[in-house]
Chain A
């Protein structure tokens, strides 16, 4: 088979990892007034972020490298174009895409994701995505039809809640089906016709997220929220039939960056990842970490999020994580911990590999056959297939089988309108799972 020239050669590093983007916000007025110093240095050209400790000069600065980094001067539209836009494009083509937002309160996560809606140039990733989607739909021609649906859910304490549902207390189940993949049973979905609709529904979900939470801050810091946009597009194919393709965009607001609040009076640093777990209730995690995942089974340890996003993290979807950090020196520990987390996300790889037996036996046998073949060729003897007489019947049968196979294959292709490429092959490593 000849090698065809690939039209869009993928950058090797963006193929199978999560694309990680870090944005650092500028010092705010209060910080300037208080006299805090910048502890973060962003090199957009090199894609590096350097953090130094301002109080103790003897500690060497720490440098992290990411796919893309944005400094305090960065513009909302640049952030959108360089990060989310390609993902939205692929969703419109019928792939799945996921954007994770990560960062502590006060690091500009909300500004990056939502921004100031009223001011066009200050809009964040979410409103820009909405506009992009409906802009694309408006431009579509001919028989192309779109159906856009949204849903919004929250995972808190390993329980899934429908943020758009009537009954907020209902606990929903994560399920899977061979034809549709992972889904949430009974999750409500709303059809939307324009960006404003989408906006309104998201705002409604936001409100529901805080209802019932005794402490909003504490609650949102420990819960993940997933806003999902499903875009179905039906258009006439070259064969004259209507084809439907479906892409999904998950916008994930990740918990986990919010640590225990700083203690005002004694003003202590935030805890780094504790090296020793005190409670025996975590024994299971310790044991799991010892097991090599290959040819073993490690019992599932609560992670609804991982399960829910398994198609985003497990094969054919484009995934981006946007981590936000604050620039001031008093944020040092938070910043380092966020950057470490983002750094880990960079290395997420898929573990689902082809189980291929090393066929030594087969190869040795083959080797023998080749030797025989060589000998025969040297001896000038001709070699041919076995000579049987009832060739006609056999040929017919052969053709019949091939025909059937061919047809089956066509059918399969017909069903799977979108044949996914291996755009991103990622999966959560165990440490990442725990963290999530």
Chain B
């Protein structure tokens, strides 16, 4: 939708005190990593956080003019949804009161006077859901959001989606990142990383120990074959499929399947030919 040219005025109002810092501050760090502990204003660290209206109302402001914080992390841009409680059209702006079931907040959208009134999008009505992108402000102890963009929600599932996303981000800040799901195989398990250990445990032929280091989704066959490749005496050419099949009393077909899995994960490699494998170690 429309983009309103109010940025300049807005910045000076809110960040007047930091005008000096603002000039150079924007790109000083050049870092994309949001370091939340950093109390100095770093305009290069803008983020867009999905929130509920209750979070907006509960956001802390350590001192007037300071950045708002939710869950201890600075708020810059926010995004939320809400059902329109009331709309007030004024000469220079439109004021919405939005309710998302968690609270009520005023959202102000500047009206762009340059735009031909005839082409202006019709104002949303009471009861409709809107998606807001904006910035939280406090004026005379009253919180409101200045919207950068407002668009109507046409698919109600976006409301569910947003509330779940806001929950996920809240939990991210409160509890830290979720445990990485071990779908990449080797990489995701730093404690028993395959490429730092060199399978010492497996040298004893202890199948259990070696199996532990394999990604959990490996089939039993793959684990067995891997265990044998680690423990069986062999030249640096590794073992041939038929030899593996004979030692484990498996069919060649099963050994090939297991081999494919292990090859796919980069746990073994082919040596003299496609049917001779050795454990990838360094």
Indicate, yes or no, whether A interacts with B. no
Residues of B at under 8 Å CB distance from A? none
